[in-house]
Amino acid sequence: MPASGIGWQALGGGEIVHRFKLILSGLLASTTGAGTAAAAKDQVTLSLPLVVEAASANAAVEVSTATLFGAQAARYRSIAIPDADLKLADGTILLAAGTRLFEHRATGKAFSGPLYCRLVKPGKMAVLLCLADPDADGRFDVLWSGSAVVGRADRMAPALPHPDATREDLAFDPIRYRVEAPSPDEALQLGFTIWGSNPLLGQHHFYEALGADGVTIPMTATHRAVRLSAEPGNVAIAGATIEARKLGKKRYAVRVIKALAAGEHALVDEYQVQQQIIFVPR
């Protein structure tokens, strides 16, 4: 315990992910007879590849917390559309025919290649369902599951994946699909946000962020805690540089002086860790 009498307790996202997996496992077990004693499942590392366009000129702007700024146009690499439902033996539809699935990337010993995913709610909580075509014969025949974060609870897209996905023991008839480019209404943005501050430490929390239609999703791994004053200071984040100064409560003047690189970016969100301050009587 530090001499100050303040201890830190880290609460990871593992239990949240476990709950996600229990929902899907329960659905599968109830219809396929698969139990929790099944052999260990394959796992892969998951990311969301986006194609990001070059930045236009960025003038200084005034922003408040939790808003996207310095945004560059971005898009999904591709979209896959299944021709048939993915459903369980009891008729529960996990992914309906015609659902637009967003290209993700899997990396691991079990499988490396594209997965096409969508965040859905087969139960009370959302699950990221991903279909794969490992033999590239134009038919999906493997299901993977994971979890993701969204900017608003009532919207399942865009969604930023957590880094791991698990292969599910679900046998289903292979599903033909077609691949196409994303539509204009699926356009994304990649930029930055200031997601609150810590008055005790005088810090302001900068993140790289994914955005679409007014929704902003900060990326945990890119967090920078910065002290600001009325004089401009530079913030280095995700290979970019932001000039920022504090204007007042929750108000900032910002200017991107070095933008994000154009090209493909692989996005993923770390499991959030909550810090709790525990005051111990002396």
Phi, psi of 4, rounded to the nearest 5 degrees: -70, -15
Count CB neighbours of 209 within 10 A: 27
pLDDT in tens, 74-89: 999 999 999 999 988 7
pLDDT in tens, 43-59: 999 999 999 999 987 78
Assign 5 a pLDDT band (cuts: 50, 70, 90): very low
pLDDT in tens, 222-248: 999 999 887 889 999 999 999 999 998
Read off the tokens for 160. 């930023």
Assign 91 a pLDDT band (cuts: 50, 70, 90): confident
Q: Would the pLDDT of 4 be above 70?
A: no
